[in-house]
Amino acid sequence: MIPIKYNLRNLAVRKTTTIAAGMGLGLVVFVLASVLMLSEGIQRTLGRSADPDVAIVLRKGADAELSSGIADSQVGMILANPGVAKDTDGQPIATGEMVIVLLLDKIGTEGVSNVQVRGVPDNVMKLRKDIRIIDGRAARPGTDEVIVGKAIRGRFKGLDLNQSFELRKNRPVTVVGIFEDKGSSFESEVWGDVKTLASSFGREGLVTSVRVRLESPAKFDGFKTAVEGNPQLEAQVMRETDYYEKQSEGTSIFITAMGSVIAVFFAFGAIIGAMITMHASVAHRQREIATLRALGFPRSSILFSFLLESVVLSVAGGLIGVIGALAMRFVKFSTMNFASWSEITFSFEPTPVIMAFSLGIAVVMGLVGGLYPAVRAARMNLVQAIRGG
C-alpha cells in the first residue's frame, strides 16, 4: 500500500491546481447545501406556525385562507361542536380571522411586493400563546392600529414602529408594536383588528378561516366529523400542522428544484476540473509512477492511491463548501410564498443530514473526476513511463 503522506505531499506541491479544483468542488457543495438549508428553512418556518392542538376550518374546496370565506353566523355553530377547549371564563379558545394581501413598496430595492395582512379578534393571544410584543405595544381592538412581525419590520415602507400605511385609499393604519413568534411565518405578517380589516375591504360579516384550540389532539377526529357532517356549514377541517405542511410544498419544491439544477451544472464543471487536475498530475508524475511500479507496488495500489488523492481533494473542497454554507444560517432570505402569494422571510436551517449529504456529494464528485486519471496511471506502461518522465 502506497503511504497516504505521498498523496498529501503531491497535493501540497501542486498548490495552484489543488486550490482551483478544491474551490470548484467547494462551490458546488456550498450551493447544494445552501439550497437544501433554505428548503429546510421554509418547511420549519411554516411548521413553527402550526400548533398540534389547533384545527383550522376553511370553506369546503378552499386550499388556502385567501380563497376561503365563512359567514360570521356560522362561527358560533363551529365553536359549539365537541372537543373545543374553553378558557377560565368558559369561552371557546378560537378565532375568526381574515387574510388579505397588500401591495407595498419595498425598502432598499426598487419595486413592490405582496404583504399578508391578518385580521384577528381581541382574544388572539389566548390562541397564540407564543406571540410576544418585543417593541411598542399591542394594537387596541376596534382601532386603526396594527402590529408588524419582526421578520418584515422595516422591509417595506410604513412597516416600522410609529409609521403608517394605507390598507386602502384614505384608510391609513398605524404600526404600534412589533411582535415575534419563535421564527414562524406569522413574523412575516401584519396583524390588525378583524372588523377594521373587514370594513376596509367591504367584507363585513365574513372571515376567511376559523382556528380552534382543541382539548387535545385526540379530539380532532370527532371535531372534524361534527363540522364536516353539518350540511349548513359546508366547511372542511384540517390539523394546523397538516395545513402548513401543505402550504410549504410549492415554495419548497420550487427552491429545491431551481437550486438543484444550478448545482448540477456547477457539479459538471467541478468534476471536469478535478479530472483535469488529476490528468495533469499523472502527466507530470510518470517517472514517479514508474518508480512505484519498479518498487513492486501493483497496479491496484497505484489506482487506489490516485483515487484516494482525488477523494482527499474533494473532501477538502467539500469542507470549505460546508463551512461556507453554515455561515448562511445568519442570513435572512425573502421570497414569494406561492400558497399565499405574499412575501415571506426565511432563514437557512442547517441539519447534520444536509451537511453529511453535501459532503458525500463532494466525495462522489471526487471519485467520478479521479477515476479515469487513476485508471490511466495504473495502466501506464513501465518503459513508456520511464521515457516520458
Q: How confident is the model at residue 42 (pLDDT cuts 50, 70, 90)?
A: confident
Q: Which residues pair with 116 in a beta bridge?
A: 101, 189
Q: What are 158-184's pLDDT values in tens digits?
A: 999 999 999 988 889 999 999 999 888
Same domain, 142 and 25: no
Task: Dump strand ranges (E) for 131-275.
Answer: 132-136, 145-149, 164-168, 171-180, 189-193, 206-207, 209-213, 235-239
Domain boundary among 209, 233, 257: 233
Domain boundary among 200, 233, 266: 233
- Name the nearest CA neighbour of 317 among 259, 369, 257, 281: 369
Same domain, 195 and 81: yes
Give the lowest-confidence range in 19-33, 322-336, 373-387. 373-387
Q: How confident is the model at residue 9 (pLDDT cuts 50, 70, 90)?
A: low
- Does residue 316 carry a pLDDT above 90? no
- Does residue 253 carry a pLDDT above 90? no
Q: At what angle do helices 4-13 and 15-48 cross, to 10 degrees?
A: 100
Give the lowest-confidence range in 327-331, 350-354, 385-389. 385-389
Q: How confident is the model at residue 132 (pLDDT cuts 50, 70, 90)?
A: very high
Same domain, 118 and 256: no
Q: 341 or 240, which is more confident?
A: 240
Same domain, 91 and 39: no
Judge contact between 115 and 102, C-beta under 8 A. yes
Same domain, 29 and 66: no
Amino acid identity, position 102 = L
Same domain, 74 and 36: no
Average pLDDT over residues 28-56: 84
Same domain, 348 and 209: no
Q: Is residue 360 part of a domain?
A: yes
Res 269: pLDDT: 73
Q: What is the mean pLDDT of the chain?
A: 84
Q: How confident is the model at residue 258 (pLDDT cuts 50, 70, 90)?
A: confident
Q: What are 97-112's pLDDT values in tens digits?
A: 999 999 899 887 778 8
Domain boundary among 211, 233, 255: 233
